[in-house]
Structure formats: C-alpha cells, structure tokens
Structure 1
Amino acid sequence: MHETHIQAAILCAKADRLQMKIRRGGHDYEGVSYVSQVPFFILDMFNLRSINVSIEDETAWVQAGATLGEVYYRIAEKSNTHAFAAGVCPTVGVGCHLVGGGYGNLMRKYVLSVDKIIDAQLFDVKGRLLDRESMGEDLFWAITGGGASFGVVLAYKIRLVRVPATVTVFRVEKTLEQNAIDIVYRLQQVADKLHEDIFIRMILDVSFPELGLKQTDCIEMSWVESILYWTSFPIGTPVDVLLSRTPQVRTHLKRKSDYLKQPIPKDGLKYIFKRMIELETPLLAFNPYEGRMNEISESAKPFPHRAGNICKIQYATNWDEDGLEAANHYLNLTEMLYGYMTPFVSKFPRAAFLNYRDLDLGINHNG
C-alpha cells in the first residue's frame, strides 16, 4: 500500500457510502476491524511500517502499521540508552496502541506513550494530509488517546526517553501456601508509592519483604532485552525476534479490565482467590499506576486514568477449543470473575481501559 491509497480509500468510501474499517498492526481483542452490520471494507495499513529514528534530537517518525517490537529494535540499533515508553507485547501495532492511550512498563517513570507524541500525519475525511500545525491542537489532542476515528493516522512523531545501559529484572512466584494473599494485600499498599524507577506486576524490591526477593532472583540486561524477558522469551533469545509479526501465542481469548482505587481487604482477597480456584481459567493481572502518572492532568490527553488509581486490572482468559459452545463457556467464566470483583473496583462509573477492547461495555438496547 502507498500513502495515496489511503486518500483514495477515504474518497471512495464517501462516494459509495461504505464503512471503512482500519487495520493497523494488531492486536484487537474483539476483532472489530473485521466485522460490521453494514457494507464495509478494510483499509489494511499493515505494510505502512517505516521507522526513522533520530538519536540526535531523541525522536522518531513511526508509521501506524509498524509494531512495537519493530520500534524497539530500530531504537536499540542506534542506542542502548534510549527507549520508547510503550507496551510490553512486541506484536502490538503502533497505530492501535497509541490511539487508545497505550501503556507499558516505563509508565511510572515516563508516563504513557501518548504523552510522548509530538506530531502526527493524518488523512482527514476530505482526504487531506495534515500535520499537527495544519490540523490544529483540538484534533491533535483527540488522536493522541481518544480512540475514535477522527481520520486515518499515517504516522506519529514520538519522543524517545533515556534509560540506563543496564536494567534489572526479576520474577518471583508464590503460592497460596506461601502467603500469596498477604503478598497481594501488601502489594496494594505500596505498589503505587514505590520509586518511579520500579514497575511491578506482583513483584517488588526489598521494601516489600513479604515477597522474599533475593539478589539471586535479579538479572541484569539491556532495556531491549528486558522487553523479551517481560514477554517470556527465554533468556538469550536474539533481539531480532522483535521484528517478527507472529504472536507468541495464538488462542481464543477474552479480555476485560477494571481500575482499583482502594486496596482490596484481606477478606475480599480470600473471597476472590476462592472464586478463581473454582473458575480455574480466568487470570488477573495488576499493573501499577501513580509515579509520574500523578503529574499529568486527566484532561491533558483523552486518557483520564491518572492520579487516584492504584492499578489497572486485566482479566485474561485463553482457550484452545473451537466452537460456540466452548466460547460461551469461557466467556461466562470471565464474566463471572468480573462480577465477583464488582464490590472492590471503581464505581460510578466503573472504569475500563479502552485498548482492552470489550464489547460487553457500552451496549444499548437499540441495536
């Protein structure tokens, strides 16, 4: 595809009254790029993936069809002390990640990926190619996390961040018999208050003694190698695997999300653990907030989940069985866990993360 094809697609869609679905790079939890109740076509931007990194001014122009892994690799090619504050999974598409306010393991120190967008190229409804200056600040604000189709973003100019040449990672596993409830309870008390250099998913440092973290648990590596570690590639995997566009795991899945504003009491955690054991399949992932996230106004970008959130919770269910019966079974399990969590998460409204696309939300009864 060439840039002019985007312009032609927009004009043809208007002329023929067709809905245009945009596919950038992956992932779409609900697959909404591929279905519609009206005549539509897919504008596939998968191959619009050029990445131009300038270490001199610490920026990069990235086309919307590139993946995060490709961006990380191209930055690391030029510098081992620069990074981009974006998502953990390398096969996520840049355009989709940014349009929904994407986050990653640098968010507590460098805030969100959308907070590092400094320019963009956008085809508007008239097929005009606009940059930040020509589109104006209101439209620029909207396309940096707003999630709606205000146009077709061709490319983003992003601000790189500085990282140490060596970072430290660790992974510690604890069971219920090893006081997992006490650990999770304590996590809620401290995860959002730790130094901004620390990002955890149920893992903390010596200020969190219940975890029992030992020096032998810690591994030093470069930032780009840590991306592979977070994505569970074996240590020593060549970093050029970041250029692969094939997800590590291909299964059926359902995702949901919540925000935690008050710690879940121990009795609540015992209740949730008991229900999770009964359900077996759904998992919960806790992603800590605060740090420098507190410094950004909720209106600075169309992403309001800033100060006041301990963490974001992701509900994750995967299954291999094909067929509607299996799908309904696992979807029901996920919905049950989501229901059990209701007393403990944000209320009025019960908030959710836009990029964890969830068609259970925002549905009316008028079609």
Structure 2
Amino acid sequence: MKPQTKSTTSILPFNISTTTLVLVLSFLHGIALADDHVHHDTNQKFLQCLSLHSENTFISKVIFTQSNSSYISILNNLKQNLLYASPEYRRPQVIVTPFHVSQIQSVLKCARKHGLRTIVRSGGHDHEGLSYVSEVPFVMIDLINFNQIDVDAEEKTAWVGAGATLGELYYKVSEESNNLLAFPAGVCPTVGVGGHLSGGGFGYLMRKYGLAADQVIDAHLMDVNGRILDRKSMGEDLFWAIRGGGVASFGILVAWKVNLVDVPSTVTVFTVVRTLEQNATQIHHKWQQIAYKLPEELVISAGLKSVEGKRTMVAIFSAEYLGGVDRLLPLMQERFPELGVRKEDCQEMSWVESTVYHRAFNAKENLNLELLLDRLSYAKYYMKAKSDYVREPIPVEALEGMYEVLYEEGGHNIYVISFPYGGRFNEISETATAFPHRSNKFHLMYYAEWYDDEESQRVIELDRKLYDYMAPYVTKNPRATYFNCKDLEIGRNNFGDNYTSVEEAGVWGNKYFKNNFKRLVDVKTKADPDNFFRNEQSIPSRVRQGSRKRNH
C-alpha cells in the first residue's frame, strides 16, 4: 500500500516557484506567532525551509499557523480530552495535515534543522494530550488524511493508514469480508489506529486473538532521517519495539499491515446491571475468580459505579460471545450462574454490529454502522484515567472500601472497569512484543469522565485517592500499568530539553514495560540516538543530548 490517501488534490498540475511558496507561507504565518516563548525568526525560518523543500507538493495547502482562520478548528477537532483544551496549554506553532509522505519528510527535515519538536496525532485520544500538547515549542503533524484502508479478504490481511480510526477499520473489514472477518482491538471507534496498536490495544476479542499489536505483521515507519522503513529494513528489534512500546519514541508511523481474524456470522452480546441488593459485590468477586478461565470465545467485562446522590453502587457486566445465544446460556448457567443471565438479556448480531453496541453504551436499538465512520460528532468531555493489573482476586472488604471513596462528592464520575485476561492473550510470551503484562488475571482502570471544568480538581483528586487506596490489592515491584492509559502522575521525563537518564525514566518506564524497558532503551539509542522523537514519557536514549553533533 502506498502510504497516502486516494486524494490527488494536494498535487499541483504545474510547477510553482520557491519565491511564490515563500510569499504564500509568509502570508499564512502573519505578523507573529502567539507564543511569546519562541522567537518569531525561528518560526519564519522553519516556514521558509518548508517552502524550499516542498516545491512539488504544494505544502502551503496543509500548513496552518496560529494566525490562520482554520487553525483553532483543526486543532480542536481531534482534541478528545477537554482537560487540555484550555488556552493555558501550549499550542503547536504550526499544524501540518499532510496528504503525502514527502510533506511529512519536509516537516521533519525543517523541524530538526530549526530546533522545533515534532509531535504526531492520529486520533487525539492520548489520555494526557501528548499528541497535541507539549511543554516546549513544537510542530504538530495531524495524520487525519492518512486514513486509507486496503483489505485483502482472501489473504486475511489489511494495510491501514495511521490516521484511520478503529471504527473505520471495523467497518471496512466487515464490508470487504461479508461480516466474516474482524480485527481485535479497542471499544472506542474514534481511537486512531497509529497509536492504539503501538501501545497494545485490547477489547472483546482479546481472549481469542490477543492484542491488536499481536496481529501486526509489517509497518511503514519514517525514521529520524526521513527514510520510510518496512519490517525488513527497520530490523526485528525496532519492529518489536513499536508493537507495545509506543511508536512515538522511535519515528512517525505511516501505516500498519495487520492480520485479520475469523469471526462467526453471529455473535451474542449482553449487558446486565446488578445492585447491592442483588448481591453485586459477591457477583463481582466471583467474576474475578472465573472470568479469566472461561472459554476464550467469551469475554465479560465488569464495571463498578456509584449512583449520583445516593450511597449505593451498581455492577455492570457486559459480554461478547463468539457464537449464538443457545450455546451461551448453558455455558453461563454452568460457569457463572450467580450472574443470572436470561435469554431476554441477550442479543444476537454480527460482529461489526457488536462494535457499535459496546460503544453506544449497550443500546438495544439504533445499531447504525455509519456511527463507526463518524469521528467528529461524538460528545467530548474532561477525562482522567489510571490503571492497574491484578493477579489475585480483590477481597470483598476491599471492594467495600472502594465504594466509600466512590460515595464521596464527585465519585459518580468515576467508572471502575475491569477486562479479564486469559485464553490466547496469556499464552503469548511477555517478550514477544514490547507489551509485557501477560501473566495477570485482569486489567483494572479507574476512568473519570465529567463535563464541568469546575469539577476537575475534585474528580482528579478523588481518582488519585482511589488509585492510592487500591495499592495493596494490585501488582507490586513494579506497580504495573498500561501504556495506552497514559498517566503522567507515575513519573515523567525532565522538562524541555534537559537530559533524562535511563534511571530517571525507569521510574515510569518499568511500570509500563517491566523487564522490556531496558531493551526499548537499547532500540531507541540505535534508532534515534539524539532523542529527536521525545515527549514527557518517551523512551530515553543512552546518548546524552548535546554530547555529539547532530546530523541534519
């Protein structure tokens, strides 16, 4: 697959002079950039550099400076977390929305030359906003136009542009395979493929097929020198690192090639809610003991949530089974009778319909597949997430202690959601990819979501309190967490361009990557020794910045 979209509107049918491009870019640039911390001259030189290296790609059509009338809408379209939408957070000096690899190469070359950090955004779902926020001046490459998906249903593979969303991928795979193929990844359809697969990626097919990253078989990655590498040319070490280790530390991901997986024509879903009066606590405790041991065709997630204005809780169990309801019900009666699932609780549907069902908060109607293609009209909100891994069931009394935290003011904004491991997921080695968390029984996330900025401090502090409370009941040494649930509170690199040692970065790196962290550092040191691709939680290079001359 060529790493670009089908659009040809960004290629000029004639040659445009460098002088003309400089004038166009200067006009776009305006009198000065809004950021007082960056000298105007640096940005002007960066823009002029782009004009000199982009003569045949009409790059002025995809450049947006802070003085451009479209700048704010482009910046905010994919800002999924309102927590980082306020003007107090540093905005990119320039946004580039490329259609072609050559445009990304030009941005990379000029950003390196003029000392501007480069950040890449594919879907905008980074929990800490690191795909569109930085502490130092930066250029943002938004890959929204790199959304081509080429499915080969016969070979059961697909090439997927980094800017495509999970929803777009699910829709295309189902369409091209007559609902008989799927891709095992996350629940939210607006998540960008580029980052999701690079951190791992799990959902309701995980126990049958493992992570999304486990299905990656090739990639197109732009390295720090602007070269496009595939699996063969990048080598197995780098290919290992970008599957689970976060691609943003190593280069710019242009496209993934993935295996597609078989699914039956009918899957069954259910969602049941149990109150404390219906033994929610005891049922949740039983779920912890058996969910990871169920047949791999069945995934049951378990959620806990307090009820606003009341001192009570509900437990929410949502499931997907690769098969019909007539096979599911006897299985549930045998293995998990405490949940009391009935036929009327269940719905049979195609796999692709189930992706809408789970995203639409288990709606029993309006399973409109077009929702998978809509990346802009979902409601946005403030959010904060922290996560843990669990190896032994959390005692009933500990669950009841958790409730006390969630009963506090603002606690109804926090959803405690657990996904069971086991099956194929646990059979894969912890060193097969950079994702190391294979030996646990389930993943636990404290997901806070709210709509009023005035609640932000209270909800964040409560989420923090809940995380602290849970320390005795989760993994230790390190207290592990999932890289795609990015959390800067567990540690961060030094501010700006100050060097971060491997030991300093290990404070957070060992929690995300365990014993794989040191290998990731080795790969980083070889692939990007001068640490150009960096952010607040990027893999560090062993080479101290400034200790050797950069090759521009």
Which structure has greater helix proportion?
2
Mark the CA change 1:366 to 1:127 in structure 2 (over 3 Å): closer, same or farther.
closer
Choose from 58, 64, 70 the match for 2:168: 70
Mark the CA change 1:36 to 1:288 in structure 2 (over 3 Å): closer, same or farther.
same
Contact 1:81 1:163 in 2 (8 A): yes
- What TM-score, normalized by structure 2, do the two folds share? 0.64
Higher Cα Rg: structure 1 or 2?
2
Say whether 1:262 aligns with 2:403: no
Shift of 1:364: 6.8
Match of 2:485 in 1: 356
Say whether 1:114 aligns with 2:242: no
Match of 1:187 in 2: 287
Shift of 1:186: 0.2
Shift of 1:33: 2.0
Choose from 190, 203, 213 the match for 1:91: 190
Choose from 245, 256, 271 the match for 2:401: 271
SS in 2 for 1:126: coil
Say whether 1:216 aligns with 2:344: yes
Shift of 1:125: 0.7
Letter in 2 for 1:195: P
| Whole-angstrom CA distance in 1 between matches of 2:240 and 2:377 | 31
Q: CA-to-partner distance for each residue in 1:38-58, whole Å, 9 max, x for gaps? A: 221101111110000000100
Choose from 444, 465, 468 the match for 1:339: 468
Match of 1:177 in 2: 277
Choose from 132, 142, 162 the match for 1:34: 132
| Whole-angstrom CA distance in 2 between matches of 1:247 and 1:95 | 21
SS in 2 for 1:90: coil
Letter in 1 for 2:392: Q
Letter in 2 for 1:60: A
Q: CA-to-partner distance for each residue in 1:166-211, whole Å, 9 max, x for gaps? A: 0000010000111011001101110111110011112372211111
Say whether 1:53 aligns with 2:185: no
| Whole-angstrom CA distance in 2 between matches of 1:131 and 1:264 | 44
Say whether 1:301 aligns with 2:433: yes
Choose from 418, 441, 460 the match for 1:286: 418
Mark the CA change 1:247 to 1:269 in structure 2 (over 3 Å): closer, same or farther.
farther
Contact 1:119 1:158 in 2 (8 A): yes
Match of 2:322 in 1: none
Letter in 1 for 2:379: V
Question: How many residue pairs get matched?
Answer: 364
Say whether 1:240 aligns with 2:339: no
| Whole-angstrom CA distance in 2 between matches of 1:29 and 1:319 | 14
- What TM-score, normalized by structure 1, do the two folds share? 0.96
| Whole-angstrom CA distance in 1 between matches of 2:370 and 2:377 | 14
Letter in 1 for 2:445: Q
Mark the CA change 1:247 to 1:288 in structure 2 (over 3 Å): closer, same or farther.
farther
Choose from 304, 311, 315 the match for 2:446: 315
Say whether 1:10 aligns with 2:108: yes
| Whole-angstrom CA distance in 2 between matches of 1:338 and 1:124 | 37
Contact 1:98 1:114 in 2 (8 A): yes
SS in 2 for 1:75: helix
Shift of 1:320: 1.3
Shift of 1:275: 2.5
* Structure with larger RCO (C-alpha < 8 A, sep 6+): 1
| Whole-angstrom CA distance in 1 between matches of 2:495 and 2:140 | 26
Choose from 202, 214, 229 the match for 1:103: 202
SS in 2 for 1:174: strand
Structure 1 residue runs of 5 or longer lacking an equivalent are: none
Shift of 1:11: 0.9
Choose from 252, 263, 273 the match for 2:382: 252
Contact 2:283 2:339 in 1 (8 A): yes
Contact 2:124 2:131 in 1 (8 A): no
Shift of 1:319: 1.5
Shift of 1:94: 0.2
Shift of 1:322: 2.2
Structure 2 residue runs of 5 or longer lacking an equivalent are: 1-97, 303-316, 320-331, 497-552
| Whole-angstrom CA distance in 1 between matches of 2:124 and 2:263 | 27
Coordinate RMSD, CA, aligned: 1.5
